[in-house]
Every structure is written in C-alpha cells, then in structure tokens.
Amino acid sequence: MPILVMKFGGTSVGSLDRIHRAAKRIGREVANGYDVIVIVSAMSGETNKLVGYVEETSPLFDAREYDAVVSSGENVTAGLMALTLQEMDVPARSWQGWQVPVRTTSAHASARIEEIPSDNILAKFSEGMRVAVVAGFQGISPEGRITTLGRGGSDTTAVAFAAAFEAERCDIYTDVDGVYTTDPRITAKARKLDRIAFEEMLELASLGAKVLQTRSVELAMRYNVKLRVLSSFEEPSDEAGTLVCAEEDIVESNVVAGVAYSREEAKLTLTHVEDRPGIAAAIFGPLADAGVNVDMIVQNISDAGTTDMTFSCPVNEVKRAEKALAAAREANEIGFAELIADTEVAKVSIVGIGMRSHAGVAAKMFKTLRDEGINIKVITTSEIKVSVLIDRKYMELAVQALHDAFELDKAA
C-alpha cells in the first residue's frame, strides 16, 4: 500500500478531544487505502513546561539530561494517539525514536538525523498494522543516549520519514491553515499563499516564521518531498493548505513573498578589538564551541589598530556568549575593551525569489522604515532576502508597514 506521513503539532494534539479529532483524520486516510506514519509533537505547552523544569534545576544544564527530560512529552502523545486509534478499531502502535530507530548525531538538543531504517515499521505494516505513531523530535545517538532535534524538530522528523519511506506526500497539520505572507496576528491583511517555493519557505523559517522548522524545509527540498501545511481544525479539501514546492512549479509570484520577524533577538558588541588577521575566527570559534547561534555580523572600520565587532544571537544564548568570550579573553586569545549586550531588539525580514530580478527592493524597505521613524541597527542581505535589526518596540509597526508597502495582501 502507498504510505502517507501525517504530522500533528502541539496545538493539534493539545487535549484528548483534539487527539480524537486528529485520529479521525488518520482513520479517513487509512480508509482511503494508505498505510500511515503519524509523527506527533508533545501536547501544547508541555515542552515549555519541561524546559522550564530543566532550566530551574540547572541553568547551565547537561544537554544529555535535557534531552532525556524534554523528549518525554512526545512519548506521552504517541501512546495516547495509538490508544485512541485502537479504540476506533484502527490497528496502530506507538514508536519512540530509539525503537525505530531514528539514528542521529551526538549533538544533544540540536541533533541531526543520519538514518531511519525502514525494516521495523515495514515489517509491522506487512503483519497488518495500519498506523505507526512515532514520537517526533527525538532519536538515539551512536552512544545510545536519547537525543532531540531542536525546537520544532517534529517537522524534521516527519519530512525525514517521508523521504526514508518514499511516502506519497507529507502533510503537516498545525493551528494555521497554511503559510501566510506574514503573521495574521500582527496584520489582518496577511494572505494565505496557495504555493510557496522551497527557497522562500526556507528563508522565512530561518528568519522567524514558525510554521515549519528550517531543517524540515531543507530536507523536503533535498529529497523533493511533496509537503503540505494544513490546519487540523478545518475540514479537509484538495484546495486546503499551502503547498511547498520547487520554484518551477509556481507560475507567478510577487517580488516579495512574505515578511518574517524574530522577537527574541539580542545584539552584542565587542569594542576596541585588535584588528588583525584571524581575529574573527578567534571570536566566533569559541562562540560556536559554546553552541551560540550567531546570525548577523558587522565589523566597523579599523581605527588606530582596533575595531568594533557586532553580532546578533537568540536572546536566551546571551549568557553563553558572554561566558565564552570572557573565557577567550582570560586565555589571551582575544582582547576587547567592553562587551555590550542589547537584549531589546528584533529582526524583521522580507523574502522573495522575485528579488533576484528586481532592483530597488532593499531601498524600498529602508525608505518604508524611515518613513515610520524606525532606526536600523544592523543590515544583512542575501539573494532573496533583506533582514534588519531594530528596537523590539517597533517590530509590529515595521511588519505592518512593510506588508502594506509591498502590497502583499494582493496576489500576483
């Protein structure tokens, strides 16, 4: 039988009633002739609660034990979903990551999937099982320890299973009915996209859009997985959701596809850094070793042999960054006068494959922000995106203004 992968996010399985609703959708696909692999997240709020327990217990926690704790939320959901399906007379069983096994790297809290052998689950399908309910977000390291894939990792799990099992498609069920031009909670003019290119979705996901995890889009693009984003709270139809697909499958698109934002950003500046060959490596090497996810980087013009180095990172990684840089200075690997942290900034970005062939997009963005009295602190660009760092208090105003300026409420 053909295989279908269905992934249900935390809000879609946030209560027993919602689990039952999701199970009915799964049952319909089984009735349509599919063997189904269901990937589940933890019930909404559960992962945050577990993370809170870990951080309260040990602020600089052992990532291996962090994984052991936070992965338990998905195990609960998988078991409850399998029980619900069994009560509906659908042959189903639950699988934890190590049982499949989902083999990953040893990078705890941010592991990458290396292999998903299909033998175990296919053997059960051949014996009459119709649904394999797999706990998302987790796997097993070469050392035999539980690993997790980072927040939103259940999306990556789903796409990886779709690729490994050559599934007909991968449906991602969430609390929104597709991918929007921006967050509808910020602007009522946000428009649902029928289709979006892999590259655009990848940029939006990496820049703060929370519909799909970045690595899930990378995998879908690499293995050409047919990926749909749908609402678990709307009736199914052929037109539902947003299809994430190759650029050539989109006939027409706007120059800018969407506006993304990331609220929890921080800007760190090292002042009077010695300006010499290798200084960037000396700064960002320790940050990488400490697991700090550096994004935007700006180096000022050298003055009297010194320079200022500015970079951004998630606000919850500031303490790790400060500790790593202090250690590097104590070891005489780098020298700087002061480390200044600004934890009240946000990143706002515009994304679109049409930017490749249209001039003036960045200028229009900067003019729009100027007209709203919003000062830009840092700028970075790529072929299909422009990102700026601004004061967090202006984030929603910036998103709304840019959405209006590029007329994203109108289809191409």
E strands, 183-337, are 195-197, 227-231, 242-245, 258-274, 297-299, 306-314
Q: CA nearest 389: which of 358, 352, 344?
A: 344
Among candidates 126, 19, 136, 31, which has minimal Cα distance to 82? Answer: 19
Is 211 one of the annotated binding-site residues? yes
How many other CB atoms sit within 10 Å of the CB of residue 396? Answer: 17
Q: What are phi and psi of 192, to 5 degrees?
A: -75, 135
C-alpha span between 250 and 174 (Å, rounded): 23
Is 74 annotated among the ligand-binding residues? Answer: yes
Q: What sign results for the dihedral spanned by CA atoms 146, 149, 152, 156?
A: negative
Residue 319 counted as an annotated binding residue: no
Is 323 annotated to bind a ligand? Reply is no
Does the annotation flag 208 for ligand binding?
no
Q: 174 labelled as ligand-binding?
A: yes
Q: Is 136 annotated as a binding residue?
A: no
Question: 96: closest CA among 126, 132, 63, 67?
Answer: 132
Q: 175 among the known binding-site residues? A: yes
- CA 267 vs. chain centroid, Å, equals 21
Judged on CB neighbours under 10 Å (0-12, 13-18, 19+), 1 is: exposed
User: Is there a binding annotation on residue 151?
Assistant: no
Which pair of structure tokens corresponds to residue 194? 């029928």
What token pair was written down for 228? 């749909």
Is the distance from CB of 257 to CB of 179 less than 8 angstroms?
no
Was 305 annotated as part of a binding site?
no
Q: Pick out the residues of the known binding site for ATP.
A: 7-10, 174-175, 180, 185, 210-211
Q: Pick out the residues of the known binding site for substrate.
A: 47, 74
Q: Pick out the residues of the known binding site.
A: 7-10, 47, 74, 174-175, 180, 185, 210-211
